[in-house]
Chains A and B, each alone.
Chain A
Amino acid sequence: MTAVWVTVAVVGLATMAIKAAGTLLVAGRALPPRAQAALEHLAPALLAALVVSQALGGSGGGFAIDARLAGLAAAAVALVFRAPLLLVIAVAAATAAAVRALA
């Protein structure tokens, strides 16, 4: 039980420190223009990486190909037809659920 609480405390404190580090270090100062320009490209870089890791990632690392990929493909089709975000997510979940139910 102690091991559990030590893990909870250390992971919690470390995560809070990581999340707060940016704002505490920058503290309202303007970043250099080139750093700011790079940060404005963080969203596409990380979003693309998150798509890959969330769609293909296995639970213990590596790849795992499963119904998530079908859900993602359905979401891409919905996006091509300019569906709203709620519909894109619903289509992805419904497709993945249907593939799992049929498999």
Chain B
Amino acid sequence: MRRRARPPAEPDYLDGVRAAAPIGIAAFAFGVSFGVLARSAGMGRLAPVVMSLTTFAGSAQFAAASILAAGGGVAAAVAAAVLLNLRYGPMGLSAAATLEGPWWLRALTAQLVVDESWAIAQRDDGRIDRRLLVGAGLLLAVGWVGGTAVGVLAGNLVADPASLGLDAAFPALFLALLAGQLGPRETQTTEGWTGSERPTLVERGASWIRGRSRLLAAVGGALIAFALMPVAGPGVPIIAASLACLVGARRS
């Protein structure tokens, strides 16, 4: 395998594609199953593909298609899907600082934000890497839209993703990326404490608090989601869990 001389702090678009490749397979498989579900829900062939291209958010599309199939009506389908996608508000805000160019290009790039691309694009300093976001987002979009097209055209030829265990791929991805968020902050160590300078006790303390505040945010997010899942509709637990990020808003 060839290794790049480029330091890991400067990833390019291909790094995003590569990082998203394993989860892209799962996205394709679920795209297929969305296509199958949408077709059997009476959405026809074209509408599911258009929806995957424009909405590009799995859980909301599954919810909307299921509600239409059950005869729940347009308003209920739209409300459920929009509620599920509200989490892209704070996610889009956290990606805002990294997007470049005129307003339409930034708005277009922001469409590539989905749970998986946003999670993969997280840098060690808590910001988003635009190139990782674009690379991962494009690969996931191709997998999702392509999978949907395969699903509406030839769905019966493809195995159920759950029987392949692919539904377990998503929590595993998020857990792995969460572990990276809570692990040692390498860039901090190399950038902040270079040369012969030894970290003072204050610096070490500040670093420890910073590490712990991320852990607090994670525990808070998990607890909020867990507590609300039995009582609130789909989508609400996740959007409420984003409030746990406020533990980081302390004065530094």
Q: How long is the Cα–Cα vector from A2 to B249 in the complex, in angstroms? A: 46
For the residues of A in contact with B, the DSSP-based class is helix
Interface size class of B (residues with CB under 8 A): 35 or more
A48 engages B222 (CB within 8 Å):
yes
Q: Point out the residues of chain B lying under 8 angstroms from A25, CB to CB.
A: 93, 96
Report whether over half of chain B's contact residues are helix, strand or loop; otherwise say mixed: helix
Residues of B84-113 at the interface with A, using a CB-CB cut-off of 8 Å, are 85-97, 99, 103, 106-107, 109-111, 113
Could you say which of A50, A52, A88 has the most chain B C-beta atoms within 10 Å of its C-beta?
A: A50
Q: How does the 8 Å CB contact mask read for A76-103 relative to B, with 1 for contact and 0 for none? A: 1001000001101111111111111100
- Is B95 touching A92 in the complex (CB atoms < 8 A)? no
Known: A14-B82, A20-B111, A43-B126. A60 touches B218 (CB 8 A): no
Are B169 and A21 within 8 A (Cβ)? no
CB-nearest residue of chain B relative to A17? B107
Query: Is A37 in contact with B122, judged by CB distance below 8 angstroms?
Result: no
A81 to B91, alpha carbons, bound, how many Å? Answer: 30
Q: Can you report 5 A-B residue pairs in the complex whose CB atoms are below 8 A from each other?
A: A22-B93, A26-B93, A44-B214, A49-B222, A96-B167
**Lowest 9 CB-CB distances: which A-B pairs, in order?**
A71-B168, A40-B126, A41-B248, A12-B54, A97-B165, A22-B92, A96-B165, A49-B241, A92-B172
A contact set with B: CB distance below 8 Å:
1, 3-8, 10-16, 18-27, 30-31, 33-57, 59-63, 67-68, 70-72, 75-76, 79, 85-86, 88-101
* Interface residues, chain B, with chain A CB atoms under 8 Å away: 19, 21-23, 26, 42-44, 47, 50-51, 54-57, 60-62, 64, 66, 68, 73-74, 77-78, 81-82, 85-97, 99, 103, 106-107, 109-111, 113, 115, 119, 122, 125-127, 162-179, 181-182, 213-215, 217-222, 224-226, 229-230, 232-234, 237-238, 241-252
